[in-house]
A = this chain, B = another copy of it.
Amino acid sequence: MEDKDLHFMHIALEEACAAAGRDEVPIGAVLAGPDGTVIARNGNRTRELSDPSAHAEMLCIREGCAKAGAQRIPDCDLYITLEPCTMCAAAISFARVRRLVIGAPDPKGGGVLHGGRFYEQPTCHHKPEVVCLEMPECGKVLKDFFSA
């Protein structure tokens, strides 16, 4: 873990809580640049946008790439409150994200530490550095949402 990790993960948690307020699955993400600035921050918007791919981290990657005018953002780090699904794990790899910081593991739908473990496959051509913080708050916002 790096010093800045908790700082960015708390911003991602704010986005997760904001998503819950929109009745979206409360997952949040932050894309951070090499100088420690927030390039993009978002929460899930699959309902709002009628887009099953509008996961928090996918929206951040798309915004970050659009701002960079490039398909690849190799100097950026991504913070996500929950382990990315298989779709987002692959998008993160395609974008050449440098470092992926996960708030909590997702045994049910994760694609990095679970399921197809995309970064361990021969069909994966870039593996980011992966750190899992195991922060109870990141799972709690989801549990509270689904029990409500």
Contacts and interface: CB of A to CB of B under 8 A. Distances in A.
A30 interface: no
A26 interface: no
A125 B52 CA distance: 14
Interface stretch (A10-18, A83-91, A135-143): A83-91
Interface residues of A, number: 40
Interface in A20-51: 46-47, 49-51
Interface string A77-115: 000000001111111001100000000000011110011
Contact of A91 (B65, B87, B114): B87
B47 A51 contact: no
A53 B58 contact: yes
A8 interface: no
A120 to B, nearest CB: 8
A63 to B, nearest CB: 10
Contacts of A58: 53
Contacts of A68: 50
B123 A91 contact: no
Nearest to A68: B50
13 contacts: A50-B65, A50-B71, A86-B90, A86-B118, A87-B87, A87-B88, A87-B90, A87-B94, A90-B111, A111-B118, A115-B121, A115-B123, A116-B121
